[in-house]
């Protein structure tokens, strides 16, 4: 089922909207509460996990981080010269050269990006950064699921190695020097309390592993013609390795993000709903979920907006 359009209007490209007092979490809460109540009674127009999911949680978090304009030191802090966008396609340096290219790969889609960029003209179009971009953050978010094992045709090539390569390609294609002082982050957001293999994610983000996997991906072209080989190795040394020296890669606890968002009570309740209604055992796990933020236990005071 899909969320009815009359219930939830389109809320995309929020970074382009004028300043406002109402945040996305304020618009989501009535719908989320209604969804939970109707589901508990057995009558509903849509399933709770169509509202309580990673996509809307991350959008609400980024919207709050943008509004409160924190100190800019955190990975998700959005400075005045930056914006954010969800469900973004990144250009791959290993794009298909021709139909059926056995060495090519599809452009990946990430949960969100933070930076100064030109919004894509249509879905699926790769992201382009503005020449004066100073921050480029790519976010990959997960709840109970885990990153996929490799990509089609290259099961050893991890998702995070692919994203690092695509970030370097995006910077180069945007006309920015890969060795510039652009602040770059690859952030994997997971709930530390539930993901047992958080350490595995950290190992997959190890710089030596990521750099080695991207180099091995380039080596896959060693049997191609000389021009193709030279182009790939030129990209590896003059683009990727120069960019990779300054790329920061780390995981970020989703629960900590709700605490840092400036709207802890509402965000924490919505986050708990996302965990409950997306468990592997199905929607039945949501029966113990509190009916609204008012019935959830309070943990701390919310921040006030700076400025």
Residue 10 has pLDDT above 70, yes or no: no
Given a contact cutoff of 8 angstroms between Cβ atoms, the answer to whether 120 and 159 are in contact is no
Tokens of 194: 């539930």
Per-residue pLDDT at 176 = 97
Count of C-beta atoms within a 10 Å radius of residue 55: 15
Contacting residues for 227 by C-beta, under 8 A, at least 6 apart: none
Among 8-17, 213-222, 253-262, name the one with the lowest average pLDDT: 8-17
Per-residue pLDDT at 9 = 40
Distances (CA, A) of 296 to 134, 262, 268: 39, 17, 9
Q: Based on the structure, what is the number of domains in the chain? A: 1
φ, ψ dihedrals at 129, nearest 5°: -85, 155
* Residue 283 forms part of a structural domain: yes
Q: Of 115, 214, 232, 228, whose CA–CA distance to 174 is shortest?
A: 115
Helix, strand, or coil here: 35?
helix
pTM, two decimal places: 0.86
Per-residue pLDDT at 286 = 52
Residue 25, burial from CB neighbour count under 10 angstroms (0-12, 13-18, 19+):
buried
Distance CA 63, CA 159 (A): 26
Residue 200 has pLDDT above 90, yes or no: no
Residue 296 has pLDDT above 70, yes or no: no
Rounded mean pLDDT, 272-287: 73
Contacting residues for 128 by C-beta, under 8 A, at least 6 apart: 117, 118, 120, 170, 173, 174
Given a contact cutoff of 8 angstroms between Cβ atoms, the answer to whether 112 and 66 are in contact is no
Distances (CA, A) of 301 to 33, 78, 247, 259, 265: 22, 22, 34, 10, 8
* Residue 26 forms part of a structural domain: no
Residue 172 has pLDDT above 90, yes or no: yes
* Residue 177 forms part of a structural domain: yes
* Residue 169 forms part of a structural domain: yes
Helix, strand, or coil here: 183?
strand
pLDDT digits (tens, 9 = 90+) for 15-31: 444 445 689 999 999 98
Given a contact cutoff of 8 angstroms between Cβ atoms, the answer to whether 186 and 158 are in contact is no
Per-residue pLDDT at 261 = 80
Per-residue pLDDT at 281 = 67
pLDDT digits (tens, 9 = 90+) for 108-163: 999 999 999 998 988 899 999 999 999 999 999 998 888 888 899 999 999 999 99
Indicate the Cα dihedral angle 63, 111, 242, 158, nearest 10°. 150
* Residue 4 forms part of a structural domain: no
Distance CA 249, CA 187 (A): 6
pLDDT digits (tens, 9 = 90+) for 142-151: 988 888 888 9
* Residue 127 forms part of a structural domain: yes
φ, ψ dihedrals at 190, nearest 5°: -140, 155
DSSP H helices in the chain: 24-41, 54-68, 159-173, 198-204, 207-219, 226-235, 241-244, 254-260, 264-277
* Residue 115 forms part of a structural domain: yes
The percent of the chain in helix, strand and coil, each rounded to the nearest 5, is 40, 15, 45
Range of the domain at 283: 51-295
Average pLDDT, the chain: 84
* Residue 38 forms part of a structural domain: no
């Amino acid at each position: 089922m899909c969320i009815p359009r009359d219930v939830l209007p389109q809320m995309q490209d929020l970074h382009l909207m004028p300043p406002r007092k109402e945040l996305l979490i304020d618009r989501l809460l009535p719908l989320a509460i209604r969804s939970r109540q109707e589901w508990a009674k057995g009558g509903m127009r849509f399933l709770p996990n169509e509202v309580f999911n990673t996509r809307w949680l991350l959008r609400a978090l980024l919207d709050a981080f943008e509004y409160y304009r924190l100190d800019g030191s955190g990975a998700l802090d959005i400075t005045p010269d930056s914006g954010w966008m969800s469900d973004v396609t990144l250009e791959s340096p290993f794009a298909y050269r021709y139909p059926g290219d056995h060495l090519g790969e599809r452009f990946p889609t990430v949960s969100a990006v933070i930076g100064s960029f030109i919004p894509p003209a249509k879905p699926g179009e790769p992201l382009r950064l503005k020449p004066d971009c100073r921050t480029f953050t790519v976010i990959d978010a997960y709840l109970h699921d885990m990153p996929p094992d490799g990509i089609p045709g290259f099961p050893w090539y991890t998702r995070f190695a692919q994203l690092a390569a695509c970030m370097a390609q995006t910077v180069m294609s945007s006309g920015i020097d890969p060795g510039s002082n652009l602040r770059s982050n690859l952030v994997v957001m997971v709930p530390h309390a539930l993901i047992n293999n958080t350490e595995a994610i950290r190992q997959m983000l190890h710089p030596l592993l990521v750099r080695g996997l991207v180099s091995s991906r380039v080596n896959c072209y060693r049997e191609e013609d000389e021009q193709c080989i030279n182009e790939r190795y030129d990209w590896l040394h003059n683009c990727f390795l120069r960019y990779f020296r300054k790329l920061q890669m780390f995981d970020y606890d989703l629960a900590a993000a709700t605490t840092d968002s400036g709207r802890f009570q509402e965000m924490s309740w919505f986050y708990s709903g996302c965990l409950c209604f997306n468990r592997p055992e199905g929607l039945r796990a949501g029966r113990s979920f509190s009916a609204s933020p008012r019935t959830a236990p309070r943990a701390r005071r919310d921040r006030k907006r700076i400025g």
